Amino acid sequence: MGNTASPEAIGHWAGISPGTVVNCTNCVMVALLSLHNKLVHLLTAEKKESTKAWVAGQMCPEWSNGHLMVNGTKFLLFQWPGLYGDAWFDKNQSYLLDCQVCTYFYQHCCNLTFYKLVTLPNSLVIIDYALGHTSSIHDSLAFQSTRIFKEHNQILTPSKWIWADSAYPAKMWCIAPFQKPVGSKLLLDQRTYNYHVLQVSPHAIFLFYLVVS
Q: Where are the domains of the chain?
A: 1-34, 41-206
Which pLDDT does position 166 carry in this prediction? 82
> What's the distance, CA 195 to chain centroid?
21
**Would you give per-residue pLDDT tens digits along the chain (213 residues)?**
445 568 888 898 889 999 999 999 999 999 989 988 888 888 888 888 888 887 787 778 888 888 888 888 777 787 777 777 888 888 778 888 888 888 876 544 333 333 322 223 445 578 888 887 888 888 888 888 888 899 999 888 888 888 888 888 888 898 888 888 888 899 999 999 888 877 665 444 333 333 332
Which pLDDT does position 105 carry in this prediction? 67
CB-based burial label for 108 (10 Å; 0-12, 13-18, 19+): exposed
Dist. CA 139–CA 143, nearest whole Å: 6
Which pLDDT does position 110 carry in this prediction? 37
- Per-residue CA distances from 72 to 99, 146, 165 (Å): 6, 12, 10
Which pLDDT does position 204 carry in this prediction? 42
The pTM for the full model equals 0.68
DSSP strand pairing (96-104 vs 66-76): antiparallel
Which pLDDT does position 39 carry in this prediction? 82
Q: Edge-to-edge strands of the sheet including 126-134?
A: 126-134, 96-104, 66-76, 161-163, 174-175
Dist. CA 131–CA 37, nearest whole Å: 16
> Residue 43: what are its φ and ψ, rounded to 5°?
-65, 145
Which pLDDT does position 201 carry in this prediction? 54
